[in-house]
Amino acid sequence: MTSKRRPLLAGNWKMNGTRASLDQIKAIGDGVKTSLSEKLDVLLCPPVSLLYVATALCDDSPLAIGAQDCHQKASGAHTGDISAEMIADCFGTHVIVGHSERRRDHDESDDLIRAKAEAAYAADLIAVICIGETEAERKAGETLEVLKRQLGASVPENATAKSTVIAYEPVWAIGTGLTPTLADVAEAHDFIRSTLAERFGEEAKGIRLLYGGSANPGNARVLIAVDNVDGLLVGGASLKAADFLAMYGAYGELLA
């Protein structure tokens, strides 16, 4: 982690959570009401069915609430989709775009993901843009090539440190319990930083880079200590308040 950038701990609930889960969201919102929140941003992205209620529950908390996807257009005949404006209307502040599960399950292209990020900007949302290689690409030695391509095509030209977060999630590590070595994480994040710098210059120094892919309370401390890892994008471990708050607490020593 680099101290010049304010860390971000983000949770992605994916297609999990019903009204019975609201107590976990409330517990997380209450749990981050500590002095540590003055040094660390915390974000939770529940399913859209819980979005408005979650923002209301956490109105007095430093916990930010976001969504997991948005349509690239502001409105129209797009049955089942949600626009960035609708997310903002529910008081959401962030939206994840380009998660590997969207790329895989919905055949989302880099161009589409860029358009979704642009839609997020237009609605004054922060876009969390996900990139990452598959197991086959890693085995073929194509990791950095894939990251370069995805960064070039998925990140809009008008991206700024204020509007954009990049999340590196090696696809083969998501939900598998597997994680890259710390050296692999460092190599990927250093490469992402340098690639962004080539394109955005000084602005790239402020863009936060998150690591995701089986991040959990057991490995959080070592992951967040890696240079250029400015936070974590957490999947399953964000579903339970105790686990997610343990990861929040892992920043205590680092930011002391």
**Cα–Cα nearest to 215, from 205, 228, 224, 207:** 224
- Give the CATH architecture of domain 8-254: Alpha-Beta Barrel (3.20)
Mean pLDDT of 234-243: 97
Mean pLDDT of 85-90: 98
pTM: 0.96
Catalytic residue IDs? 99, 169
| Residue 115 to residue 166: CA distance in whole angstroms | 15
Mean pLDDT of 46-52: 98
| Residue 208 to residue 113: CA distance in whole angstroms | 18
pLDDT at 2: 46
Q: Radius of gyration over alpha carbons of the chain, in Å?
A: 17
Which tens digits make up the pLDDT trace of 130-156?
Answer: 999 999 999 999 999 999 999 999 999
